[in-house]
Structure 1
Amino acid sequence: MRGCRGCQPYSLPPCNHHVSGDLPNCSHPFSPTPECVKECSPGYHNTYEKDKHFGVLEYRVLGETSIMRELYYHGPVTATFTVYSDFPSYKSGVYTHRHGPSLGGHAVKLLGWGTENGLDYWLAANSWNTNWGDQGFFKIAKGRNECGFESYIVTGLPLET
């Protein structure tokens, strides 16, 4: 149950996205979607049905202040943005696109915000792996829609049980 924090462990193994490292390279096209197994791992404290969560409302968040308010009151949101060829080599600091063509779009978990060396940033978790970036996290310039980061923020509210 390596890394299992819920009903089922994440079934796809970690891999290197766009960079070389100590993990195998991700296969392209990606592996097929795993079959849905409707039972929890042995020893988990809940049943599959009781562990499922449902949403009642999904919505888009527009504007820097509204994004900050949403994070403060409801927690992480999803941000989509354009990945450029200089992004995969990010290691630390506040990312700003400097050079290179677009590699495509990407979605990440937006967790918060801060300021580093006078530059405001958003803090996000990337899904590529924990060997990428700053242990799987990155900071991206805030307040100027860097790479379209502030253009499409989506989230939702859970069904209260």
Structure 2
Amino acid sequence: MSRVFILLSIVLVSIYQTEQAHFLTDDYINQINNEATTWKAGKNFHSDTPVEYFKSMLGSKGVGSSSNGPVKTADPNYENIQYIPRTFDARKKWKNCQTVGHIRDQGQCGSCWAHSTTSAFSDRLCIATDGKFNQLLSVDQLTFCCYYCGFQCLGGWPIQAWRYFKHHGIVTGGDYGTHEGCKPYRVPPSNDYKRTSIMVSTQPDLIDPATVTESPELSTTTEQEPEEKHSCKHECDGDTSISYKDNIFYTRDAYHLTPAMIQKDVLAYGPVEASFKVYDDFINYKSGVYVKTENATYMGAGHSVKLIGWGVERGVPYWLMVNSWNYHWGDWGTFKIRRGTNECEIEDSVTGGVPLTY
């Protein structure tokens, strides 16, 4: 009897997963393209990928949390900003900072909150030092050492990440599979989709389709080998020639931004973190300015990304964002989302911090 119950449970779970992943079907993508007027949808993942895979990557608990403070409303450096440009792209403004346009891969881990904040901090350090610092900071350290930030791969609060930078600092650390920096990322990229391998270019105008090669078709299964237990060790395990204690970088503060202050803060210091509610149509984003379609379903969680600019496309104002789902997703790993209407609560959920330089 128990075996029958177990088999029935497996069947029911399988049916549930299939039903919940309806947003990956061709019919749903066509429906989006019939409804959406400002953006285009397309396939980013295999149609049989279960919804649990996507939920595992949605780890921001910072949506709409600016009311919890502290909220930054003024800064002496804002006074030097004479006007807000109609279009702005941090990759073009600070071309010598290679981290600004770098697309990372968080794998099947809800560490988006750590990717976006460390990435923005890396950019800000490069900008503040006029390119003398030009490295990635350690997502791994933040994810697995900041115990008050949240729950590691089960999500966290971006504002707490900035507080961690202020009080404890962060070391350098490159992508998975590298030995770059003190503590590289240890969570492997997910292997349940066909990944495109790209010769990395940090500037949007320099991505040449001729350099893109596709890897062999990978398995559609979402099963992965169990990850090793991630412990927090205050020592370098990437480039072991680096001294951990001499490789720590800090911010002087941690803050939320009001919608009116976002552009000024980016112009003054560089990219910031932004969180938003994720709906199932967003998974299929390919190009244009994302606006939630009428029939989209809330995925039940938030996502954290890096805000690097803004502009207007076909009369629609947008924010320019860098995601952490690899270059295969969206518009070479980036996307645009409508600006000025608090789309998916994104304008209520922006955080930052100013680097300390010595």
Both structures adopt the same fold (TM-score exceeding 0.5):
yes
* Structure 1 residues 32 and 109, CA gap change in structure 2 (3 angstroms): farther
Matched, 1:35 2:222: no
Segment drifting more, 146-155 vs 4-13: 4-13
Larger Rg: 1 or 2? 2
Secondary structure of the corresponding residue to residue 57 of structure 1: coil
Higher helix residue share = 2
Matched, 1:92 2:290: no
* Structure 1 residues 127 and 33, CA gap change in structure 2 (3 angstroms): farther
Aligned residues between the structures:
155
Work out whether residues 21 and 131 of structure 1, in 8 Å CA contact, stay in contact via their aligned partners in 2.
Answer: no
Higher strand residue share = 1
CA distance in 2, matches of 1:156, 1:107: 16
Task: Report the RMSD for the aligned CA atoms in angstroms.
Answer: 2.7
* Structure 1 residues 47 and 126, CA gap change in structure 2 (3 angstroms): same
Equivalent in 233, 243, 250 of residue 54 of structure 1: 250
Q: Tell me which amino acid in the other structure corresponds to 2:335.
A: F
Displacement, 1:42?
Answer: 3.4
Q: Which residue of 2 aligns with 1:13?
A: 188
- Uncovered stretches (5+) of structure 2, i.e. residues with no partner: 1-175, 196-218
CA distance in 2, matches of 1:116, 1:133: 17
Secondary structure of the corresponding residue to residue 281 of structure 2: coil
Runs of 4+ in 1 over 4 A off after TM superposition: 1-5, 23-28, 30-33
CA distance in 2, matches of 1:124, 1:105: 15
CA distance in 1, matches of 2:352, 2:284: 28
- Uncovered stretches (5+) of structure 1, i.e. residues with no partner: none
Equivalent in 260, 266, 274 of residue 71 of structure 1: 266
Work out whether residues 251 and 356 of structure 2, in 8 Å CA contact, stay in contact via their aligned partners in 1.
Answer: yes
Q: Tell me which amino acid in the other structure corresponds to 1:21.
A: Y
Calculate the TM-score normalised by the size of structure 2. Answer: 0.39
Work out whether residues 254 and 354 of structure 2, in 8 Å CA contact, stay in contact via their aligned partners in 1.
Answer: yes
Q: Which residue of 2 aligns with 1:158?
A: 355
Displacement, 1:68?
Answer: 0.4
| Sequence identity (%) | 37
Q: Tell me which amino acid in the other structure corresponds to 1:154.
A: T
Secondary structure of the corresponding residue to residue 265 of structure 2: helix
* Structure 1 residues 3 and 42, CA gap change in structure 2 (3 angstroms): closer
1:80-159 equivalences in 2 (<5 Å): 80-98=275-293, 99-103=295-299, 104-159=301-356
CA distance in 2, matches of 1:121, 1:159: 30
